[in-house]
Amino acid sequence: MKTDDLIRMLDLGGTEAPPPSPPGAVVTPAGADPAPPPASPTARAVDAWGLRRGWDLVGESARLRAAGTDALAAADFFAAGFDPDPHLLPACTDPVRREFVAHLLETPEYRALHAATRLDDTAAAIAAAHFAEQFAKLRAEEPAGGAAADPGREMAALRAVGRAVAAAGTEVGELHEAAAGLGMGPGMPGSNDPRAVAALFKRVRGDPALRRICELAGRFRRVAQSRQRLKVTHGLDDVVGVEPGGDVGRLLPAELVKLVVPELELDTLRRIADRQAHCREHYAVEPVGKGPILVSVDESGSMEGEKVHTAKALALALAWVARQQRRWAGLVAYSGDSGERLLALPPARWDEARLADWLAGFLGRGSDLDVPLRDLPRMAAGLGAPVGATDVILVTDARCRVPADVRDRFVAWKRAARVRAIALVIDNPPGDLGGVCDEVYVVRSLTADDPAVGRVLSV
């Protein structure tokens, strides 16, 4: 065999073969543009759970069905609100929807809304309904055969996105106010049950009185937060800064060193005496054993309307204060001898349905004495109020005339149960309440900026 034959048989004179392509890869000839990726049925990267949630939302939401939204569009809109980091795909089988979602993800208003809907199933579903409604209107207004780069079409999409985000932000805010007011805010028992939160919000949204009470309760709750922060006392639990003072035990090391320097000793002693030396600032909260908070709301006929709405909103904010302090709360709706409605709210999970019933109800009758001075001891026992230093808040618009025997029994119960009673009288003289309550305030109306309301919310 000749040498040339051997080289030819072993292919020693040929060129090196290209490496094998990975399975499923598309081989593109040199110099040709790569093939575009196939269009996705969704505008965003949506996983299997998100697609299933889209199907469920269409089945659950009459608003989505009325807007003509299919499961794929619902998945897109829900994921835009729910997913922590939404990603837009390069191509979608519905280019109009992709353009709408692209404009949505780019707006700063959407990013603010997304902070409130991220990983919140109920809030994301509300936002998805608003996105779907505005997208349906955009599609209905779109001219036939419009170009993708048409400036008029782009402006219409931006306007639709703006309307959707604004409406969604308003309703999501109402959802959070209602949930927080009725005991299902972030970190509270039951807040991780999206069906319960959605059912509660559906009831609040369908009842104007409940919606108004939750709105007002949010204002009172914010006042309560600031008032409770002012109650913090300073102890030795944690160092939070430096402050001028004269406490030798809290002096900074730099000040102590100056006491052994003859040239600085007298000046340092002077600053200690004048409480001008640099001392550690400590922070602590004194644990104080407290008993229940009882709130009585006058439900006589004269309280109907805005008066009783603000009174119940204040009661709801006081229940929130009790829960933050791990105290038991009791709500009393009273209308003299003509009726009463009682509700116990322990620090654990509240009965949201019963709380909504209590807020929405109204007795609307009346008598000579529309504060339960005669019946509060019985009511406290019936509600199961624990023993301890008790705060009683009475809200009424009546000029109360308290018989001597009722006054004496109430004062005796106050002393035995360690009760501090505070009365808020709306647009009326307090009458005989000054003789039975520790504090009485007369207010024109219950507003969040009233000092008397702030005093009550600082209990």
**Among all chains, which residue has been given the structure tokens 């559906």?**
202
Q: Where do the domains of the chain lie, and which CATH numbers do they carry?
A: 48-142+149-206 (no CATH), 238-283 (no CATH), 293-456 (3.40.50.410)
Distance CA 99, CA 104 (A): 9
Task: Tell whether the model's pLDDT for residue 231 goes beyond 70.
Answer: no
Pick the more confident residue, 213 or 367.
213
Q: Are 319 and 330 in contact (CB under 8 A)?
A: no
**What per-residue confidence (pLDDT) applies to 287?**
44
Q: Tokens standing for 205?
A: 């949204």
**What per-residue confidence (pLDDT) applies to 234?**
46
Q: What is the mean pLDDT of residues 283-291?
A: 57
pLDDT level of residue 202 (50, 70, 90 thresholds): confident
Q: What is the mean pLDDT of residues 321-327?
A: 87
Q: Are 341 and 326 in contact (CB under 8 A)?
A: no
**Among all chains, which residue has been given the structure tokens 């020693």?**
12
Least confident segment among 124-128, 163-167, 200-204, 262-266 = 200-204
Enclosing H/E stretch for 396: strand 390-396
**What per-residue confidence (pLDDT) applies to 314?**
93
Distance CA 440, CA 47 (A): 60
Q: What is the mean pLDDT of residues 63-82?
A: 88
Q: What torsion do the CA atoms of 38, 44, 48, 54 make, to the nearest 10 degrees?
A: -120
Task: Tell whether the model's pLDDT for residue 305 goes beyond 50.
Answer: yes
User: pLDDT for 103-114, tens place per residue?
Assistant: 888 888 888 898
Task: Tell whether the model's pLDDT for residue 21 goes beyond 60.
Answer: no
**What per-residue confidence (pLDDT) applies to 289?**
47
Give the number of other Cβ atoms within 10 Å of residue 346's Cβ. 17
pLDDT level of residue 309 (50, 70, 90 thresholds): very high
Q: What is the mean pLDDT of residues 320-331?
A: 89
Q: What is the mean pLDDT of residues 248-261?
A: 90
Distance CA 174, CA 179 (A): 8
Q: Tokens standing for 322?
A: 């009790």
At residue 333, the 3 state secondary structure works out as strand
**Among all chains, which residue has been given the structure tokens 């990603």?**
87
Task: Tell whether the model's pLDDT for residue 11 goes beyond 80.
Answer: no
Q: How confident is the prediction for the chain on average, in pLDDT?
A: 82
